[in-house]
Structure 1
């Protein structure tokens, strides 16, 4: 399968082919299947983010005791793990400098 270059903004969950269309953070090369998998991870991250908002205002709720928060963290980490795997050298170095990936890559 042929790989295409994509530009990613994690904050907005956007993955586009045009580098001028958004203020991107990372550059990756992905097949159509890898692109689809990344899109699914962004969707899961968004879904769990919205679900965790409902409990975020509860002062007695501890962040990690909430299963939804744990799911959000999991999917966000998987997004960064995928970006690291598909990214160019600059993308890989940036993600490694963030120390977001537990137990290596």
Structure 2
């Protein structure tokens, strides 16, 4: 049986630490395998972020309906869902209060101006 470990996640810096810091961090508890999955998800989000930043300065290219942006959003959603699953009650309450999972799942593409 795997032991449960506590780590602290910072989504903005895409880091996973053994000790809490003064930065915004979310406390999670999981097995080594679960925490390794979380680490890999953070690394994927970092790669997604790097891809989207290369296309950001192109003034005529909108980020709407962009494959790189869609991938980033999908991976961000999966990351927050996984953090929620592994999160402490405080972490779950924080994610719930952020309402980020609903926002990431429900874009405003139904509004005028977002034709496919």
TM-score under structure 2 normalisation?
Answer: 0.80
Counterpart mapping for 1:39-58 below 5 A: 39-58=39-58
Structure 2 unaligned blocks of 5 or more: 106-116
The alignment partner of 1:59 has SS state of: coil
* 1:42-77: CA deviation from partner (whole Å, max 9, x where unpaired): 111010110111111122222122101111111111
Equivalence for 1:99 = 99
Equivalence for 1:34 = 34
Equivalence for 1:14 = 15
Larger radius of gyration, structure 1 or 2? 2
TM-score under structure 1 normalisation?
Answer: 0.88
Distance 2:94 2:67 in 1: 29
Cα root mean square deviation, aligned: 1.5
Counterpart mapping for 1:56-71 below 5 A: 56-71=56-71
Structure 1 unaligned blocks of 5 or more: none
- What count of residue pairs does the alignment treat as equivalent? 102
| TM superposition outliers: structure 1 runs of 4+ over 4 Å | none
